[in-house]
């Protein structure tokens, strides 16, 4: 079982999401704690971590196997996900 940590930035975005997307996201996060590599997750090419597609949204996360933690560092709409800021 993995502990889920969510960055402040990701948490702020999650709180603004529509209810339908939030419910799907919540289910994915719960499932991530059991399986950090679910079907549909892809390794990021430009930085460390993985991504999961949730409709029009993307969830980006890293896995710390030593501490059994999953760090969700970004949640955003697909058009904004990979922009450098």
pTM: 0.87
Pairing of strands 69-77, 3-6: parallel
Q: What's the CA gap between 4 and 7, in Å, rounded?
A: 10
Question: What pLDDT digit, counting tens, does each position of 13-41 carry?
Answer: 999 998 988 999 999 999 999 999 999 89
Asked, for residue 19, whether it belongs to a domain, the answer is yes
Asked, for residue 35, whether it belongs to a domain, the answer is yes
40: CATH: 3.30.2310.20
DSSP 8-state class, residue 2: P
pLDDT value, residue 77: 87
Q: What's the CA gap between 3 and 19, in Å, rounded?
A: 24
Question: What pLDDT digit, counting tens, does each position of 73-84 carry?
Answer: 999 888 776 666
- CA gyration radius, the chain: 12
Q: What average pLDDT does the segment 37-53 reach?
A: 92
Instruction: Give the domain range for residue 35.
Output: 3-77
Q: What's the CA gap between 67 and 3, in Å, rounded?
A: 8
């Amino acid at each position: 079982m993995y502990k889920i940590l969510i960055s402040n930035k990701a948490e702020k975005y999650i709180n603004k999401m529509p209810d339908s997307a939030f419910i799907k996201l919540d289910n994915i996060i719960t499932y991530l704690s059991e399986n950090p590599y679910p079907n549909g997750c892809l390794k990021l090419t430009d930085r460390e971590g993985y991504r999961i597609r949730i409709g029009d949204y993307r969830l980006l996360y890293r896995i710390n196997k030593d501490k059994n933690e999953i760090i969700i560092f970004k949640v955003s709409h697909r058009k904004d996900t990979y922009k450098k800021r």
